[in-house]
Amino acid sequence: MLSHYIHINHNNDRTLQDQIKGSIAKAIFDGFIPKENSLISSRKLAQDLSVSRNTILRVYEQLTEDGILVSVERKGYFVNPNLEIAAPTASGTKPYVHTALDWSRYLNTEHITSAYTAKDLKHYKYLFVGGAVDEDLFPVIEWRKCSIQSLNRTNHQSWTSNNSDYHDLIEQIRTRVLPKRGIFVNADQIAITHGCQNSLYYLSKLLINKKTTVAIEDPCYPEALHQFQAQKAKILPIEVDEQGMTIDERLQNAQIIYSTPSNQFPTTVRLSPERRKELIRSAEKHDFLIIEDDFEHDVNFMENTSPPLKGEYPSDRIIYISSFTSTIAPGLRIGYIVSAPPLIAQIKRMQLRSHSLPPKNNCQTLALFLNLGYYDALMQKMLKRYREKWLTIEKAMNHYFPQSGVTPSLAGTAFWINYKEGFDSEKLERLAEQHGILINSGSQYYYDRKHSNSFRLSFQSIKNDNIREGIALLSRLAKTIMPIERLDECQTAPLDGKAIRELLTGKTMLTKDCFNIPYRITYQPDGKMTGLSDRPNDTDEGYWWIENNKLMYQWRNWQFADIRRITVVIDDDKLKRFDEEGFYIGDATLIV
């Protein structure tokens, strides 16, 4: 019976029609449906599959339109007699025998990576992991328009031909994307790739061997490290601090520097202007090349855009790579390399030899998407959405993770938490996953993988409404393993209500938020309070009072405007604050 060849998976993203059509077509071309017999009636097949008859009728009609079936009046549907179909092969005559080979004898060890299990993101409510975008932002209608337009008589010739010309997309990148970043180049200085990982593959193959020393940021992008190690390069890890990659005399021993200066991955910090200058001076002095990975340049919304090194210093020593992965969709897999013509020419030759050219239909669609202004409109919508998420997660971190030590960067789509030594972020990652939260442990980004006190929270794909709830739950889980001081560990008793009022009235408290950014709280005698952060344009006001020997306060905007209950302790001449659960928030000093 025909139904035996049809397999329906209700969890499959394909429609019922597509699944049934595909199964019938496969059965026909595998030779299991005789040409001389009509197919089972649509009514009977619908009953066998427990689907509507209209679904089966539409499948039969589509197969007829495709020339796989023919309709014979009063007799039904038959396999098209003009199809050339081989007889089905006998199955089961020679069953596959699995041989237990020792594959360690055959694999090149430098290409072996640790096991990775892909997770079905639909099963997790709180997605704080990178590598995904907000699906609601994908411009389906605009992309469909461009895709249809790329199929017209004029445009389709540019991608159905056998040449390797990507003129339309290169021209859009050259004239619309790069000038906004201060980069002005000719068409022969751009190569289209499958994304940043693919770009790194070409650069590693062409520029790196076992005699090459490559300096990388530490922590850094793991895939870049893997590409360099695959070429047996000597790796020189350079630590990253609040000003970005450290620039010192160690770089004179390198031939290649890999950096993410505009938005360091994974910590999100920016390379300071002084270090940018020093990096360029060092490159000229010691004759090394710089691979600049500008993976998330268009996603800057809380600070002025930091220009790429390639834009600030238009030197051939800087090889610039970027992609559309973090803006349009990861699955698009289109990126580009900007460099001197000799290197670009070699990259294009390698692409031809390895048959690894990006799909030209997607590139043509993207070129139209850029040309018609849809990309610029998407950026405006995306930045607005990401700004809302950034503000929500910033409030949530200050509310639930005041002692976490978030890296004070105000750009990008992630928060980097660098906690105290002794904190096990890998344990938190496993614990969080059990509760529907996905985060990225920081150890995977370090060269030696020995740092376990950091983790990364990306907010690209998570819904804004889920951020606060997810951070609150993550905080409760983290407190079970974080080495946080508790109220019951203090050597002195908490202050009572009268002592707190006398201590704070008319005074200004100087403290820090979870980003280690200083801010001041002034407690007025009438119960009002004002807050002033060292962050630009960041002020608030609210009320404070005493209740049951607790310091009570409520901001108008900060910390979701929740009422907070704080215990105050003077311990070792430090003013310490503890939250409702008795966990340490932070120190503070009083100024008149």
What is the per-residue pLDDT across 109-139, written as a single tens digit (0 to 9) for each?
Answer: 655 555 444 567 778 889 998 877 777 888 8
* Structural tokens at position 41: 């009636």
Closest CA to 369 of 139, 118, 114, 132: 139
Rg of the chain taking only CA atoms, in angstroms = 30
**For 354-369, what is each residue's pLDDT tens digit?**
888 888 888 999 999 9
Closest CA to 265 of 35, 98, 391, 442: 442
- The dihedral sign for the CA sequence 559, 563, 565, 570: positive
* Structural tokens at position 444: 């995977």
Low-confidence ranges of the chain (pLDDT < 70): 87-99, 109-119, 153-164, 300-305, 330, 404, 408-411
Closest CA to 290 of 333, 245, 327: 245
Closest CA to 447 of 138, 235, 129, 153: 235
pTM above 0.75, yes or no: yes
Residue 590 identity (one-letter amino acid)? L
Helix (H) or strand (E) holding 590: strand 584-591
Q: What is the DSSP letter of 406?
A: B
* Structural tokens at position 544: 């404070």
* Structural tokens at position 572: 């070792």
98 to 39, 93, 95, 101, 373: CA distances (angstroms): 38, 16, 10, 9, 55
| Cα angle for residues 189, 192, 196 (degrees, 5° grid) | 105
| Cα angle for residues 534, 271, 324 (degrees, 5° grid) | 105
For 548, phi then psi, to 5°, come to 55, 45
Task: Give the Cα separation of 109 and 112 in Å (integer).
Answer: 5
Task: Give the Cα separation of 236 and 218 in Å (integer).
Answer: 9
Q: Where are the alpha helices (DSSP H) in 234-326?
A: 273-286, 309-312
DSSP letter string, 176-218: IIGGGGT----GGGEEEESSHHHHHHHHHHHH--TT-EEEEEE
Q: What is the pLDDT of residue 115?
A: 45
368 to 143, 337, 382: CA distances (angstroms): 9, 20, 19
Helix, strand, coil percentages in the chain from 3-state DSSP, rounded to 5: 40, 20, 40
Q: What is the pLDDT of residue 379?
A: 87
354: left (phi over 0), alpha (psi -120 to 50) or beta: alpha
| Cα angle for residues 22, 28, 30 (degrees, 5° grid) | 100
| Partners of 583 in the β-ladder | 486
Task: Give the Cα separation of 58 and 56 in Å (integer).
Answer: 5
Task: Burial-class residue 382 by CB neighbours within 10 Å (0-12, 13-18, 19+).
Answer: buried
63 to 31, 232, 335: CA distances (angstroms): 16, 53, 38
Q: What is the pLDDT of residue 520?
A: 95
